[in-house]
Amino acid sequence: MNRGDAGAHWENWSGSQRHRARLVTPRSVDEVVTTLREAAAAGLELRCVGSGHSFVPFWGDGVILSLDRLEGVLSVDAPACRATIGAGTKLHALGPELWERGLSLPQQGDIDRQSLAGALATGTHGTGRRLPNLSAYLRAVTLVTAGGDLVVLTPDDGDRFAAARISLGLLGVVVDVTLELLPAFHLHERMWESPVEECGALLDELVAENRHFEFFWTPRDDRCEMKALNPADAEQAVAAGEYVAPAYRVFPSERNIRFNEMEYCVPLEAGWDCFAELRELLLARFPRLPWPIEFRTLAADDALMSTTAGRDSVTLSVHQGVERDYRPLFDAAEAVFRNHGGRPHWGKLHSLGAAELGGLYPGHARFCEIRREMDPKGLFLNDWLRARFGG
């Protein structure tokens, strides 16, 4: 390897992952191909990074390939509401670029610091009973395989495309993606507080009546902070404290304090019971925790490694500040999630191995087969990933 910063210190957004690795930031697809071939020849593992907003051990001490220079809206098919976008484009930059072209993402999470490829590869999502995660809007993905070949996958490629939609970076280096979008729209944000019992009584109605609904709960307050987003006219009058703006500005929340996170996805019908058990746990053992449980809904899809594969779901997440040991809280919460058939979010901390994942994800075995076909020598594996997907 003759390019990149050899042995540079690198860490992810929360600081939970730190590595001495060769950092390479290619400016073109040709440079991606060269980097892959050099890493393979040197016997080094290679992992990609967007903004490093995942919390799990995705990276290692070999080569870390940054997607930062593979960015921007590359082309737009306005009549079809589709755009091809560089893999390293950050979500907070993508929103304004699409807006200028009269388009919006149909769905987005409440953090917009991630790269587009990273958000797709980990199954990042927002909330909405009839809305799937962001990868469900993928219509084509261009990647460089471990052998240095440029491959474009579309729905016509069957299981390979279903694997590529949420790939954890295991099938190749994604260089651009094509997404199905919506005409640009505004959202109206309304927030209010509710007692837990009232939230539970009204939950089904609130989820059904709002395009996006979620709530946050902390043991310190033992109340639910409710949040609803719905399409709106730009000039719509709203009550004091409410908000109407372009969707890309309303979707995200500002997160200035760093944290680590665990999130699991449970069947829709188990959502409230799982929350209630988590609430009992936190009130009893972590009553001063200032970080919330976040409760969101998500529609089923059919990506092989999707947390919502084959089932409408509720996602529940717990957080801990980076200055504290997250393990006591996360270990206790994970036991609750598993009581309700939860599947872990791929970018968030969890302890499950291959056998447990195989029992939770119907597509796990097929995904591992495709990974072996596309990367037989394991260029894109590290020890943590090998234990879960290496076969």
Does 256 score more than 90 pLDDT? no
Q: Which two tokens stand for residue 56?
A: 């799990």
pLDDT tens for residues 319-357? Answer: 999 999 999 999 999 999 999 999 999 999 999 999 999
State residue 59 phi and psi, 5-degree precision.
-115, 180
Which residue do the tokens 């040197």 mark? 42
Question: Which of 263, 259, 314 lies closest to 290, judged by CA?
Answer: 259
24-38, 122-136, 175-189, 232-246: least confident range: 232-246
- CA 15/CA 191 separation, integer angstroms: 31
Does 189 score more than 60 pLDDT? yes
Does 1 score more than 60 pLDDT? no
pLDDT score recorded for residue 8:
73
Q: Do residues 308 and 299 make contact, with C-beta atoms less than 8 angstroms apart? A: yes
Does 77 score more than 90 pLDDT? yes
What's the 3-state SS for the chain?
A: CCCCEEEEEEECCCCCCEEEEEEECCCCHHHHHHHHHHHHHHCCCEEEECCCCCCCCCCCCCEEEECCCCCCEEEEECCCCEEEEECCCEHHHHHHHHHHCCEECCCCCCCCCCEHHHHHHCCCCCCCCCCCCHHHHEEEEEEECCCCCEEEECHHHCHHHHHHCCCCCCCCEEEEEEEECEECCEEEEEEEEEEHHHHHHHHHHHHHHCCEEEEEECCCCCEEEEEEEEEECCCCCCCCCCEEEEHHHHCCCCCCCCEEEEEEEEEHHHHHHHHHHHHHHHHHHCCCCCCCEEEEEECCECCCCCCCECCCEEEEEEEEECCCCCHHHHHHHHHHHHHCCCEECCCCCCCCCHHHHHHHCCCHHHHHHHHHHHCCCCCCCCHHHHHHHCC
pTM of the model: 0.95
Residue type, 282: L
Per DSSP, what are the bridge partners of residue 82?
77, 180
Does 7 score more than 80 pLDDT? no
Q: Which two tokens stand for residue 208?
A: 């059904």
pLDDT tens for residues 22-35? Answer: 999 999 999 999 99
Please, what is the average pLDDT of the chain? 96
- CA 305/CA 371 separation, integer angstroms: 12
Instruction: Report the Cα–Cα distance between both ends of the chain, in Å, rounded.
Output: 28
pLDDT band at 5 (very low <50, low <70, confident <90, very high): low
Q: Which two tokens stand for residue 294?
A: 């976040």
pLDDT band at 2 (very low <50, low <70, confident <90, very high): very low
